[in-house]
């Protein structure tokens, strides 16, 4: 999932939890998080990374084991979650929180929100998430840059100013080059 799909994979904007209450409904426990990861990693059905066999079973350590060649793979292999001893739900909440903060959040804020015992852990998690959200091989913006945010989907009845019920928020950054 999360090297290329860091936040919520192929989830559409309509499905993205807009509130902490929705988040808690979508990802209420570890099984819900594992089910989501499985769906994102193997959209059609499981395929063994080693031999391509379509059948697997889950062993005691929660690894998917190919029923043909015995190759074992984890839902988190190749992702920012790999090797973590923390719960998937905690990682999901960290991702959701970072994505819903206007400035991306801070390590101190992440530590407070998740109840992490150490600032260093929160900082490491935030750095991992930020690195995973950056498109590889992109050309960095140079010189003067302008940044703005907006909402997509037109006007909404009974909503004032920057409040929204169903709009999608976007952020755009552009290089300012010569000319008008």
- SS3 per-residue string spanning 117-170: CCHHHHHHHHHHHHHHHCCCCCCCCCCCEEEEEEEECCCCCCCCCCCCCCCEEE
Q: What tens-digit pLDDT sequence spans the chain (180 residues)?
A: 333 333 444 455 457 888 999 999 999 999 999 999 888 888 888 899 999 999 999 888 889 999 999 999 998 988 899 989 899 999 999 999 998 887 778 999 999 999 999 999 999 999 999 888 887 788 888 889 999 887 776 677 877 777 777 777 778 888 888 765
pTM higher than 0.85, yes or no? no
Nearest one of 122, 163, 151, 5 to 75, comparing CA atoms: 5
pLDDT value, residue 5 = 37
Separation CA 171–CA 34 (nearest Å) = 30
């Amino acid at each position: 999932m999360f090297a290329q799909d860091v936040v919520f994979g192929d989830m559409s904007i309509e499905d993205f939890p807009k509130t902490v209450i929705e988040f808690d409904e979508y990802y209420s426990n570890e099984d819900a998080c594992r089910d989501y990861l499985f769906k994102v990693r193997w959209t059609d059905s499981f395929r063994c990374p080693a031999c391509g066999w379509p059948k697997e079973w889950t062993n005691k350590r929660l690894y998917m084991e190919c029923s043909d060649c015995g190759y074992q793979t984890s839902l988190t292999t190749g992702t920012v979650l790999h090797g973590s001893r923390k719960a998937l739900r905690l990682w999901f909440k960290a991702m959701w929180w970072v994505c819903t903060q206007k400035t991306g959040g801070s390590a101190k804020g992440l530590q407070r929100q998740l109840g992490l015992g150490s600032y260093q852990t929160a900082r490491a998690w935030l750095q991992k998430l930020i690195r995973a959200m950056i498109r590889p091989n992109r050309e960095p913006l140079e010189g003067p840059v302008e940044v703005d945010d907006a909402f997509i989907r037109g006007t909404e009845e009974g909503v004032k100013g920057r409040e929204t019920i169903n709009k999608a928020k976007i952020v755009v950054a552009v290089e300012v080059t010569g000319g008008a």
